């Protein structure tokens, strides 16, 4: 589908430009911004995000890039929640250590997006996109909320926790465990400093509290508590899968591989993490592989940095893993009925509000415009040298005004004090004058103006100025 809106030629991004982009995205249009070189993508996002106060998911090229960008965004937007969505080190069809910490963080991000928090920003490497997660509908349907005075018995609550992936133990010691003793159920959710104690009076919940096991002390009472799935799969299907695996006996694999799978069944039945657990989890899901993009709210913003390389890598990765799955089945190392576990590259194209940042016009752009207008916004890669007579126009084109708080990507938060002309190396050039904490000043040359953006606090709270030369930033 060809673009239906006109091409906007922009001398440089401005407040009006970003407001227009926000309006276009809110209206369901995909927006393609070209001419944004690698070094300018982060500054561009820093100027855009204050105009897009909605759940935002940013897809980048690598885990390291995701970590760097999420760190920058946390500093620039201290009042927004910024997550880095991690990648599993264990590849599909591999037997390796179960990465509990990675799964926990991925589920935290999933829950935050499903809660509909508009201040959430998630940075995702493309490889984490293609690694499937539990279907959002399954995750939401599996959540259990317990309230004081609810009619429930402790045996049923314990069984519900086990169905969410908690291990039933005699003595509680770490997250992921649940125990019942008489009319008391203790469950230790991931991410909590203390277990949750639920006390029953007959078949009624009498109290819910945070409980310090070491000191045998109730820390605080709670009116209610929601316990969520702690596995990236539909764990309610675990009993049926176990019954199927035990009944079939022979999976059509080589003897050594069959023995390895048989060894999985005991820890799997007790909800214990074990090497090889990642092989069994896809067998629990009734739906095709889901991506974290599926959890992004309908009005959320999906940002793809350099979409052509991303799409190419995702497509090539999926093809390579499909060949690996076929080979392992052929050699008797996987059951013939083992499903495809890779999320297809088209997962990116399915979302409504998409922003593409690219240095050139991506070939894949046509895939993003299936139902929505595609707006091209071209940014030049270089600026001409300004003169003294250009200063008023130059100041008017900036996305911030004198006296406003700004953020320099390398040096932190400052107060913008206007444009000054400095004579350096025989030439007179314009510089941004930035005031930092104390007597610190920084003069930013014109070719680096794009490294300075509006301070992105949606509450308009006055920030603390950064102290130059320290680790404040």
> For the segment 77-112, what is each residue's pLDDT rounded down to a tens digit?
888 999 999 999 888 888 877 888 899 899 999 999
The owner of tokens 């214990």 is 272
* pLDDT given for residue 386 in this prediction: 56
pLDDT tens per residue, range 159-193: 999 999 999 999 998 889 999 999 999 999 987 88
Closest C-alpha to 11, from 376, 381, 449: 381
What is the CB-side half-sphere exposure of residue 331 using CA atoms within 13 A? Answer: 9
**C-alpha separations of 228 from 257, 279, 394 in Å:** 33, 22, 53
**Lowest-confidence region among 18-27, 210-219, 220-229, 254-263:** 18-27
Give the mean model confidence (pLDDT) for residues 314-321.
Answer: 88
Predicted confidence (pLDDT) at residue 150 exceeds the cutoff of 80: yes
pLDDT at position 434 over 70: yes
Which carries the bigger pLDDT value, residue 204 or residue 37?
A: 204
* Residue 284, pLDDT above cutoff 60: yes
Pairing verdict, β 301-305 and 354-357: parallel
- What pLDDT score was predicted for residue 371? 37
Higher pLDDT, 26 or 33: 33
Better pLDDT: 53 or 207: 207
* Residue count (the chain): 473
Section 253-282 average pLDDT: 89
In the 8-state DSSP scheme, what is residue 133?
Answer: B
The DSSP bridge partners found for residue 122 are: 57, 83
Ordered alpha helix ranges (H), 93-237 = 100-114, 126-130, 136-142, 154-163
Q: Is the pLDDT of residue 438 over 50?
A: yes
The structural domains of the chain, ordered by start, are: 8-134+252-378 (3.40.50.300), 144-227 (3.30.2060.10), 388-454 (2.40.10.170)
> Quick check: 122 pLDDT over 90?
yes
- How would you classify the pairing of strands 196-201 and 204-212? antiparallel
Q: How confident is the model over 368-412, as pLDDT tens digits?
A: 443 344 455 554 444 445 555 566 667 777 878 888 888 887 788
pLDDT in tens, 212-227: 988 888 999 999 999 9
Of the ranges 131-135, 302-306, 396-400, which one carries the lowest mean pLDDT score? 396-400
To the nearest whole number, what is the mean pLDDT of the chain? 82
Is residue 366 over pLDDT 50? no
Res 156: pLDDT: 95
3-state secondary structure of 296: coil
Among 20-24, 136-140, 261-265, the range scoring the smallest mean pLDDT is: 20-24
Burial 108-141 (b: 16+ CB within 10 A, else e): ebbbbbbeeeebbbbbbbbbbbbbbbbbbebbbe
Label residue 428 by pLDDT band (50, 70, 90). Answer: confident
């Amino acid at each position: 589908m060809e673009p239906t809106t006109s091409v906007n030629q922009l001398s440089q991004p401005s407040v009006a430009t970003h407001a227009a982009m926000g309006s276009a995205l809110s209206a369901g249009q995909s927006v393609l911004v070209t001419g944004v070189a690698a070094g300018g993508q982060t500054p561009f996002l820093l100027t855009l995000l204050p105009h897009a106060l909605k759940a935002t998911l940013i897809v980048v090229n690598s885990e390291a890039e995701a970590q760097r960008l999420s760190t920058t965004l946390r500093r620039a937007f201290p009042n927004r929640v910024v997550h880095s969505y991690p990648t599993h080190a264990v590849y599909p069809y591999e037997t390796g250590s179960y990465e509990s910490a990675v799964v926990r963080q991925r589920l935290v991000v999933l829950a935050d997006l499903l809660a509909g928090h508009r201040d959430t920003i998630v940075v995702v490497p493309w490889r984490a996109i293609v690694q499937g997660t539990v279907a959002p509908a399954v995750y939401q349907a599996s959540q259990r909320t317990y309230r004081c005075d609810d009619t429930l018995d402790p045996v049923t609550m314990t069984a519900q926790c086990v169905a969410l992936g908690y291990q039933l133990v005699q003595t509680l010691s770490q997250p992921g465990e649940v125990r019942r003793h008489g009319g008391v159920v203790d469950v230790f959710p991931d991410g909590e400093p203390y277990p949750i104690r639920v006390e029953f009076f007959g078949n009624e919940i009498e109290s819910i509290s945070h409980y310090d096991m070491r000191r045998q002390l109730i820390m605080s009472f709670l009116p209610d508590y929601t316990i969520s799935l702690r596995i990236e799969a539909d764990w309610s299907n675990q009993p049926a899968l176990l019954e199927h695996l035990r009944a079939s006996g022979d999976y059509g694999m080589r003897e050594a591989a069959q023995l390895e799978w048989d060894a999985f069944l005991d820890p799997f039945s007790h909800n214990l993490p074990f090497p090889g657990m990642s092989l069994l989890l896809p067998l629990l899901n009734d739906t095709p592989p889901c991506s974290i993009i599926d959890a992004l709210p309908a009005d959320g913003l999906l940002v793809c940095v350099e979409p052509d390389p991303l799409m190419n890598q995702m497509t090539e990765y999926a093809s390579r893993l499909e060949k690996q799955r076929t080979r392992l089945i052929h050699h008797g190392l996987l059951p013939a009925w083992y499903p495809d576990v890779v999320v297809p590259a088209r997962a990116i194209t399915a979302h409504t509000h998409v922003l593409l940042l690219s240095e050139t016009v991506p070939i894949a752009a046509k895939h993003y415009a299936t139902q929505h207008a595609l707006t091209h916004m071209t940014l030049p890669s270089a600026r001409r040298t300004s003169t003294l007579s250009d200063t008023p126009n130059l100041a008017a084109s900036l996305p911030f005004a004198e006296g406003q708080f700004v953020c320099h990507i390398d040096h932190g938060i400052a107060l913008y004090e206007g444009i000054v002309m400095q004579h350096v190396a025989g030439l007179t050039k314009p510089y941004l004058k930035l005031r930092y904490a104390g007597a610190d000043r920084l003069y930013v040359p014109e070719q680096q103006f794009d490294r300075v953006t509006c301070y992105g606090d949606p509450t308009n709270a006055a920030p603390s100025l950064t102290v130059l030369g320290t680790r404040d930033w």
